[in-house]
Amino acid sequence: MKGYFKLEDNYIENEVIDFNKKRYVFTFNIASIAIAFAIFFIFRVQSCPIFTVSSIIFIIAGYFFLVIIHELIHALFIWIFSRKKAHFKFSLIYASAGASDRYFDRSSYIVIALAPVIIISLFLSILINYSSPDLYNGILLVLALNISSAIGDFYISFITATKEKGTLVRDEGEIMHFYTKTT
């Protein structure tokens, strides 16, 4: 598993996925909201208050912190596989980390894409077991938001996993380019 600095001559671009396109923005946002609500309402504890002052503060601060940590974890794994610093983009509807001048093999790219949701979910799952009842549902909501907000990561991992062996991915943050070998 690694990242490449240069694309070999026998590779051609065969697909581009642009998360800026309205169909992705709309679909991902609707699905993300539905997933967050489903997780929260399935796993919430009825006897714990949903919205106390402390849980509201935790949810707002937790989600803001979550987005930053999520992108930093992407950046860490980009660096691990390419020894290249990631670049970041933030907007009102998304945040991203990418390395537009590196090409990653399928396995590396799937690890880069899924590492944040796995690491953060494990941490929050442990934290929720040691939380006070006032914070339980707040932590659960942040956990649900973590999983649901990673819908683009899940989608791009699925697409990457279905590509043929030898496929390379170049990630510009919100735009992913897929390259395959020519015969």
Read off the pLDDT of residues 76-126 as tens digits, 9 standing for 90 and up: 999 999 988 988 888 766 788 888 889 999 999 999 999 999 999 999 999
15's tokens: 């697909």
Q: Name the residue ranges covered by the structural domains of the chain.
A: 3-7+11-181
C-beta atoms surrounding 20 within 10 Å: 12
Stated pTM of the model: 0.85
Whose tokens are 């799937």? That residue is 110
Q: Which two tokens stand for residue 137?
A: 């549902």
- Per residue in 14-25, pLDDT tens? 999 988 788 777
Q: How far apart are CA 83 and CA 55, in angstroms?
A: 39
